[in-house]
Amino acid sequence: MDIVDPETRSRMMSRIRGKDTRPELAIRRALHAAGLRYRLQARTLPGRPDIVLPRHRAVVFVHGCFWHRHDSCRYATTPTTRPEFWAAKFEGNIRRDAEVAKALLSGGWRVATVWECGTRTALAEVVSDLLAWIRSDEAVTDLPRRRA
């Protein structure tokens, strides 16, 4: 049972953005300040990456921890209502993300995933790692990186 009425829930869900989110804007500002220029939401690429750096053949996805299920993250909670629906939804998102990354890699693109929690807690570190990755020749990265 939901704690709010259907109309309120609908209004709340309609405000969840698919682009120009706070974490995405923070990453874009930092990349621009570092002198990098990019394209947004490239429709010609699989998965419409959030940020495309054609000069570096790199794409950046800025994922929300809840929707894309960031492992061991406090923001990746699972709602208690309709658990079967949410399990299927999250499984589909994870599968789609993997397929998109595979398609981009096979197309010669390098893929970075920046997680929402990193932009909340360690933005400077995440941006530093992202800039280092962009200038490297690594194919894939996941930020923030887990430190030992």
In the chain, the domains with their CATH numbers are: 19-143 (3.40.960.10)
This prediction's pTM: 0.86
pLDDT of residue 72: 86
pLDDT of residue 81: 84
Position 17 pLDDT exceeds 60 = yes
Cα–Cα distance for residue pair 134/148, rounded to 1 Å: 23
d(CA 110, CA 59) in angstroms, rounded, equals 6
Encode pLDDT of 69-103 as tens digits: 998 899 999 988 889 999 999 999 999 999 999 99
CA distance 6 to 57: 44
